[in-house]
Amino acid sequence: MTTYTTRFGSLQRYEKGGVEVINDDAKNYTFSNMFEVASMAKPYEKVAVGKNMEYVLEVLRAEGTSGWRAAAHDEFALVMDGEVEIRLRKLADPAVVPAGTRGSVSLNGTPDGQPMGRVRARRGHMTLLPVGAAYQFHADRPGVILLQTVAGADTQFRWAEICQTM
């Protein structure tokens, strides 16, 4: 009987992996490694690693403190490596994010509104980033966040750089 061992990756230790293509072209498939993408990214840069219609999975390198962001729709942050503090504030004026805006937008400074609390999330913890709230990430050491959202102005599509091509 064949046995398999599951190994979870991290920024410090990951294996690239790949797709075994049979009678096709690798360019027809998307395959990237979120840890490799995060290792090459600037802190809190939003790099798409998956896409389904308007929805994307973005990888963010969590390092230091991000600026405040908010979206006109719910988003979900899944911590894949490290520990990330997520700070939430109820927006005093939700119109700072125009209705229908796709993806999150950067806010200038600390937004007006009541603090909603903090979440300390580690590998495997998912946090809702609700519509009508602003959020800020903080990580003392580098980590990785997988963000489920809608593609927006700050989403970076780097398929040619990050995907398997042969």
Could you give all domains of the chain from N- to C-terminal order, each with its CATH number?
Answer: 26-162 (2.60.120.10)
pLDDT in the model for residue 165: 57
Above 90 in pLDDT, residue 90?
yes
The backbone region for 95, taken as left when phi is positive above 0, alpha when psi lies in -120 to 50, beta otherwise, is alpha
- Counting residues of the chain whose pLDDT is more than 70, the rounded percentage is 90
**119 and 71 in contact (C-beta within 8 Å)?**
no
pLDDT in the model for residue 29: 57
Q: pLDDT (tens digit, 9 = 90+) per residue, 18-68? A: 667 777 776 655 555 888 899 999 999 999 998 888 999 999 999 999 999
pLDDT in the model for residue 96: 94
